[in-house]
Structures are given as structure tokens and as C-alpha cells.
Amino acid sequence: EAGVAQSPRYKIIEKRQSVAFWCNPISGHATLYWYQQILGQGPKLLIQFQNNGVVDDSQLPKDRFSAERLKGVDSTLKIQPAKLEDSAVYLCASSSDPNTGELFFGEGSRLTVL
Amino acid sequence: EDQVTQSPEALRLQEGESSSLNCSYTVSGLRGLFWYRQDPGKGPEFLFTLYSAGEEKEKERLKATLTKKESFLHITAPKPEDSATYLCAVRATGNQFYFGTGTSLTVIP
């Protein structure tokens, strides 16, 4: 079974530029999450989708971050304009049943903002 | 405010030297406590789910336990391949998953 796919793995941009990350979850997983993990910290939830609807985006900085999950499968996370403090690893995870706590994570997209 | 705190931040063990990692939490309406392992450059990998105080789960050299205020991840006779960051997460009534900052474990041969 294929795991969660993310791209790109690495991205370096200047501040105020824009960037987009893509995630393809495990087939059949209705729940999709985007997490931000700053070096030395635990993952912080940005947004949670159930199929193509948003369940929780309370910690998403909506003035610069946006995310969508068209057709309830792939998802894209966009940052525009980027700030220095956005340097982090952006992790996508999916789950067939969040009640179990078993989230399957991708390898992440590492963003460096200069 | 919901909070998850892990200790210690870092732990160095000799191979075969057993120890425990701690995860203390304050959440309203705990709906589950979860342990994950994260290797450098990788996403977290699920280990255990615990739902109620007194519950225990085991996998190879790892054993997770849960009380009303904290969870422990016991590592028995660790090997170098157990070196990783161990993350604790909780799920509260709002369905959010809150992760702790993790414990970085190094097992020295």
C-alpha cells in the first residue's frame, strides 16, 4: 500500500514570495491533516479536512496560509506571502478513522525562508 | 488551556539500560493519548493508542501506560535502533490532536 506522498521535499524562497505544497493521502482515507513542525518542536495542526470539507482550521494563519482539498483526495497548502518564521517542515497526514489516533504521515516538505 | 508536556527533552542511554519517558497532559475531555516515533527527516510513525487510565500497550521493547494525568513510555533493554524522537499526542473533545515537543532518545552501543 502506497504511503502519503508529499512534494516538494525541499523548498528555499525569499521572504514575501509564495510557495505551494502538495499532498496525496493514502487511498480511501477521508481525513487529511496539515501540520507545521518547527525545528525542535512538536507538530502543530494547521488544518484538518474530512473529505473535501474543513473540520478545523482554527490555528491556520488565514491572512497568509490557505489550503484546499478538491474532490476529497489531493490537497494543496499555500503560503503567500512567506515570512521568516514560516521556515519549518510541513507535514501531511491522513487517517481512515481519527478515533484510533493512527495518523499516517508523509515525509514532509522542508521550507526555508531567507 | 489544553496542554501536553514531555520530559525529559533529551535522554542518552547505554544499550540495555532501561528507562521511561513522561508525557503529562491537561485537556478537557480526553478522547485518547497517542505515542509516535519520529526519525530524522521523516514524518512521525504511529506506535500506540491509550484511551483510559490503567490501560497498557506493548510492542517489542516499548510499553505505554496511562494515568489520569500522565502517560509513560517504558523502554526495556533499548538497542541503538530505538534512537529517535518520541512524540506524545492527545485528542480532546474538540477533536484536535495536540502534540508535545518530544523526547529525543539516543541509545549508545
pLDDT for B16-35, tens place per residue? Answer: 999 999 999 988 788 899 99
Cα separation, A100 vs A28, in Å, equals 16
Quick: pLDDT tens for B27-86.
Answer: 878 889 999 999 999 999 999 999 999 999 999 999 999 998 999 999 999 999 999 999
Distance of residue A62 Cα from the nearest chain B Cα, in angstroms: 18
Instruction: Please give the residue that has the higher pLDDT: either B97 or B91.
Output: B91
pLDDT of the residue at B1: 67
**All three cell numbers of A94:** 491522513
| pLDDT tens track, chain A, 114 positions | 689 999 999 999 999 999 999 999 999 999 999 999 999 899 999 999 998 899 889 999 999 999 999 888 999 999 999 999 999 999 999 999 888 888 999 999 999 999
Give the pLDDT confidence score for residue B44 in this predicted structure: 96
Q: Which three cell numbers stand for residue B57?
A: 500497550
H-only helix segments in chain A: none
Q: What residues of B are in the A interface, CB distance below 8 Å? A: 4, 6, 31-34, 41-46, 49, 87, 89, 91, 94-102
Indicate which of A24, A39, A94, A100 best probes the interface with B, i.e. most B CBs within 10 Å of its own CB.
Answer: A100
Burial class (CB in 10 A: 0-12, 13-18, 19+), B90: buried
Residue B84 C-alpha cell reads as 529517535
Q: Chain B contacts of A103, Cβ < 8 Å? A: 44, 46, 97
pLDDT of amino acid B96: 75
Only one residue has cell 499526542, namely B89
DSSP string, B4-72: EEEE-SEEEEETT--EEEEEEEE-SS--EEEEEEE-TTS--EEEEEE-STT-EEEETTEEEEE-SSEEE
